[in-house]
DNA sequence: AAAACGTGGTG
DNA sequence: TCACCAAGTTT
């Protein structure tokens, strides 16, 4: 035997690992999945897409009521596209990151214009839509159309990090190794792959949570590499929590809150009261305007964008 | 590639 | 209380 004997890539899953994980996780999902509105058949691809936009960095509990109102008001992409972008921003409410509302409106317009009003099925076409990145394209293709795509969100990354790689937390940014692993673990056929995607996400959301995982209820606890290693603490760089108080983001939020509530254009003075520091206040407002979230009128007033 | 981008619940 | 966390995308 030579020193160059073939060996499996370090840290990679064994050939039989996938099958051993698929069934327990998918079976668990069948009995424990939450009954969320965007998972109902009647939600359709548009409902799935709307939910995915809203769920980008925003918890399910806060998305629920806004999602219902949104779909009731704009049941099809063309319905949203027919309204001014500012109406999308207003209906977005306090979900946060309001540029998502603008992008969802722009995506709806693109769907209405270029795709005959139907959410495209092709991953590349989904990816080309405003506000749709790698995750959302895969999620819509998988959840709405039952296709086979690696769906790698924060939940799945954590589940794979623990169950397979054996670490408490995945790296800060998604790595090529994580993408490769997600691809390797993907079941071969479309329906099973789609179920796997939804199931691993749900497992991360309900059981394999960031702070205090409930391993007692985990269907793959006996196979979890992290548990088997004694649940070692995170070793990498500290996970940065973004500060918010005093940032431009906070000021933008306060300014936009005023505009959302207003039915008519708002005077400069009404915006000035939300923040006392004039330089930062002006910078925040300029930022909102350049982002297309606020429209300045020639008479010195401001409103949510009509175009 | 690092940083910007909202908001509210929770341990 | 306060830092962490939540189905990311864009520049």
User: Given this structure, which CATH class describes domain A17-33+150-228?
Assistant: mainly alpha
- CA neighbor of A190 nearest in space, from A156, A153, A144: A144
Cβ(A13)–Cβ(A184) below 8 Å: yes
Please state the separation of Cα A220 from the chain's center in Å. 25
CA distance readout (Å), A57 to A63, A123, A154: 10, 22, 10
Q: What is the pLDDT of residue A236?
A: 80
Q: Please, which positions of strand C sit below 7 A from a protein CB?
A: 3-10
Q: What is the pLDDT of residue A263?
A: 95
- For Cα atoms A151, A66, A270, give the angle at the middle one, nearest 5 degrees: 120
- For Cα atoms A293, A296, A300, give the angle at the middle one, nearest 5 degrees: 150
Per-residue pLDDT 10s for chain A (307 aa) are 333 333 334 445 555 677 899 999 999 999 999 999 999 999 999 999 999 999 999 999 999 999 999 999 999 999 999 999 999 999 999 999 999 999 999 999 999 999 999 999 999 999 999 999 999 999 999 999 999 999 999 999 999 999 999 999 999 999 999 999 999 999 999 999 999 999 999 999 999 999 999 999 999 999 999 999 999 999 887 777 778 889 999 999 999 999 999 999 999 999 999 999 999 999 999 999 999 999 999 999 999 999 9
Q: Please, which positions of strand B sit below 7 A from a protein CB?
A: 2, 4-9, 11
Q: Please spell the DSSP secondary structure of A189-230, one letter per residue.
A: SHHHHHHHHHHHHHHHHHTS-SSS--GGG-TTGGG-HHHHTT
Q: What is the pLDDT of residue A145?
A: 98
- CA neighbor of A144 nearest in space, from A116, A127, A121: A121
Q: What is the pLDDT of residue A188?
A: 97
Domain ranges of chain A: 17-33+150-228, 37-143, 248-294
Report which DSSP code applies to A175. -
What are the residues with a C-beta under 7 Å from any atom of nucleic chain C?
A: A 36, 38-39, 51-52, 55-60, 96-97, 103, 130-137, 139, 153-155, 158, 169, 201-202, 204-205, 209-211, 238-244
The answer to whether strand B lies under 7 Å from the CB of residue A242 is: yes
A303 bridge partner residues = A295
CATH fold match for the domains A17-33+150-228 and A37-143: no
Q: What is the pLDDT of residue A18?
A: 73
- CA neighbor of A213 nearest in space, from A167, A182, A180: A167
Please state the CATH superfamily assignment of the domain spanning residues A37-143 in this structure: Hypothetical protein; domain 2 (1.10.340.30)
Q: What is the pLDDT of residue A19?
A: 81
Q: What is the CA radius of gyration of chain A?
A: 22
- A52 assigned to active site: yes
Q: What is the pLDDT of residue A11?
A: 45
* Three-class secondary structure of residue A146 per DSSP: coil
Question: Which is catalytic among the residues A52, A87, A202, A295?
Answer: A52
């Amino acid at each position: 035997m030579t020193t160059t004997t073939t060996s499996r890539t370090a840290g990679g899953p064994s050939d039989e690992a996938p099958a051993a994980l698929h069934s327990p996780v998918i079976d668990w999902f069948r009995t424990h999945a939450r009954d969320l509105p965007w998972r109902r058949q009647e939600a359709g691809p548009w409902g799935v897409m709307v939910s995915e936009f809203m769920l980008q960095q925003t918890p399910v509990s806060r998305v629920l009521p806004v999602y219902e109102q949104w779909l009731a008001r704009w049941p099809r992409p063309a319905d949203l596209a027919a309204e001014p972008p500012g109406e999308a921003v207003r209906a977005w409410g306090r979900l946060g990151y309001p540029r998502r509302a603008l992008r969802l409106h722009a995506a709806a317009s693109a769907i209405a214009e270029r795709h005959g009003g139907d959410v495209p099925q092709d991953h590349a076409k989904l990816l080309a839509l405003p506000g749709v990145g790698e995750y959302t394209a895969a999620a819509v293709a998988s959840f709405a159309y039952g296709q086979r795509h690696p769906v790698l969100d924060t939940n799945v990354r954590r589940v794979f990090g623990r169950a397979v790689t054996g670490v408490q937390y995945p790296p800060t940014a998604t790595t090529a190794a994580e993408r490769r692993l997600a691809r390797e673990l993907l079941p071969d056929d479309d329906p099973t792959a789609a179920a796997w995607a939804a199931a691993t996400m749900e497992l991360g959301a309900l059981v394999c949570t960031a702070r205090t995982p409930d391993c007692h209820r985990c269907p793959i606890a006996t196979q979890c590499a992290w548990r088997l290693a004694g649940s070692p603490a995170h070793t990498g760089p500290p996970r940065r929590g973004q500060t918010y108080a005093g940032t431009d983001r906070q000021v933008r939020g306060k300014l936009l809150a005023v505009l959302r509530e207003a039915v008519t254009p708002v005077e400069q003075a009404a915006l000035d009261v939300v923040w006392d520091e004039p330089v930062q206040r002006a910078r925040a407002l300029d930022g909102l305007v350049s982002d297309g979230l606020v429209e300045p009128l020639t008479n010195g007033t401001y409103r949510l964008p009509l175009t």
